[in-house]
Amino acid sequence: MNLTLKVWRQKTPDDKGRMVKYLVQDVSPDMSFLEMLDVLNERLILEGDDPIAFDHDCREGICGMCGMVINGVAHGEQRATTTCQLHMRHFEDGATVTIEPWRAAPFPVVKDLVVDRSAFDRIIQAGGFVSVPAGSAPDAHAVPVKKDDADAAFDAATCIGCGACVAACPNGSASLFTAAKITHLGLLPQGQPERDSRAKAMVDQMDLEGFGGCTNTGECTAVCPKGIPLDTIAQMNRDYLKA
Amino acid sequence: MAVTGAVLVLYLVAHVVGNLKIFYGAEAFNDYAHWLRHVGEPAVPARTVLTLVEVVLAVSVILHMWSAVTLTRRASKARPVKYAARRKTQASGYAVHTMRYGGVVILLFIIWHLLDLTFATVNPAGPAGLPYDRLVQGFAPERWPVTLFYVVALVMLGLHLRHGVWSAFQTLGLANGRSYRPLKIVAVGLSLVLVLGFLSVPVAIAIGVIK
């Protein structure tokens, strides 16, 4: 396959940045999207150019490092898929593909497609934890947890913090991320003592970071590679109003 | 957004019920308009209840707009650099993308609507006209552009409520995964009932069913 890429290039955080066009030839349909970029980068290095910077780590779809807006959609149009698990067979030969970083004021661009997601870390630091000496793992049946709660908590816990929800939200809101963490801890017995203070602290930190407000568009959950459901946001609102 | 929106939706339900009294004839409608001004008498002076409703509505509309403006400004601050590729919506639903400009259309409509039928300054029957005459003359067939504007604004209102009604439950934390479907059905049903109810009066006059 041959592709035309339009990639966002930005040398430094202060650089103005621009879209640059690249032709990539002989792309195998079995390559992942990141492997396709690796091939382009090897050529750029051989030609003495600066390779395109992008975040990646596990390349198994579970670490949350990778992420780029492909043709206007966070992680590309393939549903419930991280960029690293997106394969080139989903693209047509000869297609033009636009690649941009997550766009949000709280996620400043570091270089090219790499953004600084420390804002998420600060939201977690504000309350996304359980302050009890956990010790060794207790017996699984020592504290009974309702099956529905366990399932919902586990669904929320699959959030990998990639930031696609923010990138896709027309309001630049981080509600789905924050809600996933609040729901995950708030539904389990260990999370109960700090449930109210956690919801308040994390939502306040989210607003402080400069993320937008939620208007229930549902764009976040549609692009989420882990399919975090929208009702986590209702759970967050419930806990926040109670706090 | 959610609380003020709920107040306004409840008012719309009462409003549409009152409007439909026109199908009982001129006397019933004018008596109803008279009753609205004198409800609660002599326990409370004339217009007490109506003034209270007006104050609550005005405050709700202002707070609703203030929330909308705040959300819009936060949104544009949160994304100073726009995407180069045209953002394709991944979620289902057209109504959600009409909320902001639809809200502006509805605001313009409310201003015209008040001038037309409340203060009657732009109504052919004038401020001295009886409520029934203002309606019949205001939506007379030759004033079709006014009727058309009402139709467009009411369709925007329907879209606004299509998203707004279920969205209010979500914002207040009253929704969960199981209630999304029933809530959305209620949102569509309520929007349709309100829009058709409101549209029935101007359309009935414009086509000459009510004279």
pLDDT of residue B136: 95
CB contact under 8 A, A73 and B90: yes
**Sign of the torsion angle spanned by Cα atoms B122, B119, B115, B163:** negative
By DSSP bridging, strand A96-100 and strand A114-115 are unpaired
B96: its two tokens: 């959600």
Q: Which one of A216, A220, A230 would you mutate to disrupt binding with B, by most B Cβ within 10 Å of its Cβ?
A: A216
pLDDT in tens, B37-92: 999 889 999 999 999 999 999 999 999 999 999 999 999 999 999 999 977 789 97
pLDDT in tens, A63-102: 999 999 999 999 999 999 999 999 999 999 999 999 999 9
Average the pLDDT over B93-122 and give the result.
95
In a domain, B117, yes or no: yes
Residues in chain B closer than 8 A to A170 (CB atoms): 75, 87
For each of the domains in chain A, give its residue range(s) and CATH number, in order of start. Answer: 3-103 (3.10.20.30), 117-131+143-242 (1.10.1060.10)
In a domain, B211, yes or no: no
pLDDT band at A201 (very low <50, low <70, confident <90, very high): very high
In a domain, B80, yes or no: no
* Residues B107, B109: Cα–Cα separation, whole Å: 5
CA of B130 vs chain A CAs: smallest distance (Å): 42
In a domain, B45, yes or no: yes
In a domain, B79, yes or no: no
pLDDT of residue B53: 97
In the beta sheet, which residues pair with residue A115? A109
Question: In Å, how far are A38, A169, A170, A172, B107 from B73, measured between CA atoms?
Answer: 39, 14, 12, 11, 19
pLDDT band at A142 (very low <50, low <70, confident <90, very high): confident
> By mean pLDDT, which of A139-148, A158-167, B178-187 is the weakest?
A139-148
**Sign of the torsion angle spanned by Cα atoms B15, B16, B21, B25:** positive
In a domain, B88, yes or no: no
pLDDT of residue A139: 86
* Residues A195, A184: Cα–Cα separation, whole Å: 11
Say yes or no: B180 contacts chain A, CB-CB below 8 A.
Answer: yes
Instruction: Give this complex's ipTM.
Output: 0.93
Structural domain count of chain B: 1
Structural domain boundaries enclosing B103: 2-74+93-206
pLDDT in tens, B11-24: 999 999 999 999 99
In a domain, B81, yes or no: no
pLDDT of residue B117: 95
Residue A38 has pLDDT above 90, yes or no: yes
Average the pLDDT over A182-210 and give the result.
96
Say yes or no: A223 contacts chain B, CB-CB below 8 A.
Answer: yes
Long-range contacts of A153-157, Cβ-Cβ distance < 8 Å, separation of 24 or more? A153/A183, A153/A184, A153/A185, A153/A187, A153/A188, A155/A227, A155/A228, A155/A229, A156/A180, A156/A181, A156/A183, A156/A184, A156/A187, A156/A228, A156/A232, A157/A184
pLDDT band at B211 (very low <50, low <70, confident <90, very high): confident
**Residue B12: strand, helix, or coil:** helix
CA of B167 vs chain A CAs: smallest distance (Å): 6
In a domain, B116, yes or no: yes
pLDDT band at A16 (very low <50, low <70, confident <90, very high): very high
B129: its two tokens: 């006209």
Residue A43 has pLDDT above 80, yes or no: yes
